[in-house]
Amino acid sequence: MQSAIDNVLDIQQIRRDFPILHQEINGRPLVYFDNAATTQKPQSVIDALTRYYEGYNANIHRGIHHLAEQATAAFEDSRRAVQTFLNARHWQEIIFTYGTTDGINLVADSYGRRFLKAGDEIIISTMEHHSNIVPWQMLCEERGCVLRVIPVDENGELILEEYEKLLSEKTKLVSVVHVSNSLGTINPVKTIIDKAHEVGAVVLIDGAQASSHMELDVQALDADFYVFSAHKLYGPTGMGVLYGKKEILDAMPPYRGGGEMIKEVTFEKTTYNDIPYKFEAGTPNIADVVAVKSALEYMADLGKEIIAAHENDLLQYGTEQLNELDGLRIIGQAKHKIGVISFVLEGIHHQDTGVILDQQGIAVRTGHHCTMPLMQRFGIAGTTRASFAVYNTRDEIDRLIVGLKRVQKMML
């Protein structure tokens, strides 16, 4: 079954752009519904990686030979591309990291240890990924800060009234997810940021799940920090971005010590480099940084709004079809969602569901999705999660429904 959006997007051509999709798993054509964990890569991104290693592999910034200059130019072109992607004011506000987790840890380690003290309060939410919980717990243990948590209602939406009650002059930092990786909930981050700023707190937004699905504008959001990972938006693994307001980054101490993040070193004193290089110690992940530009260009060529419309169609269609299955309950019924559907089957463990679907060539994610407190909030051990990307189709959702009926037949 096709949707109206298929007349705008040539889905079959898009699918041809992704080599990995053209294979069989256990004798069945692959259906890849684990996009919230990582997206697949178009040929253009794979080619960008190959071109770097085959054509101009060299270390960056410090070399004066041709290959080094070519690699440096490609590396910094990606920084400018990310600046445009986020609508950051300055290119220096783009810090390359090893992923969302690394970016959050950088802020917790550098900003947290410099500016937070005993008694200061940090606010997160119940739906945070462990990567946006543990670093703040570690900081609280070390500095004597207090961690506060925004509750979630039965629909999987933040209770903003409770958030406002948590805010006070003690609140120094708020760190929340833009989009829940477990539920697909789109949080009202602009409101969250504005309320935090009213009490003088800075705000970090975890954009790992939002980056491939939504238009992003850090200036419009007025976010102090924004983090995401390339592999969630059709780019390579091992590469991420931390955006930070220039004046805040300038005031933060380095995260790691080594080459590149210095201007001058003697045994008596080291002078640190300017941003962004102050936070990019050592040889970076050059090839993957270079390749992320191709991923951003791929999405831009398709159009973020068109991608979002296609994924929303899959979300609506998938929700309707899954709701018709007896014994299936969707966890997370927020009004505003991206293409993520988490569900439980009555009487069937989520791992059994995942194994039987895999036997039919259908890849889903099962478990707590690194959001154990959220699972505890709903009184469950975990869910089965189907998450969609631009290359997915309604026909694949139909296969998921058939697969789930087979799970029920085998297990009940």
Residues annotated as catalytic are: 370
DSSP 96-120: EESSHHHHHHHHIIIIIHHH--TT-
> Interhelix angle for 66-86 vs 43-55, to 10°?
150
The radius of gyration of the chain's CA atoms, rounded to the nearest angstrom, is 22
Q: Can you give 129-179 as a three-state secondary structure string?
A: CHHHCHHHHHHHHHHCCEEEEECECCCCCECHHHHHHHCCCCEEEEEEECE
With contact defined as beta carbons under 8 Å apart, do 186 and 334 qualify? yes
The span from the CA of 338 to the CA of 210, in Å, is 8
Query: How many CA atoms lie less than 13 Å away from 58 in the CB half-sphere?
Result: 17
Bridge partner list, 176 = 205
Which amino acid does the sequence have at 262? Answer: I
Nearest to 100 by CA among 203, 174, 210: 210
Task: Tell me the C-alpha to C-alpha distance, in Å, between residue 235 and each of 59, 143, 212.
Answer: 21, 36, 10
Those residues with Cβ within 8 angstroms of residue 393's Cβ, 6 or more apart along the chain or in another chain:
11, 314
Give the Cα separation of 368 and 133 in Å (integer).
15
Residue whose tokens read 């070390």: 142
Question: Partners of 330 in the beta sheet?
Answer: 343
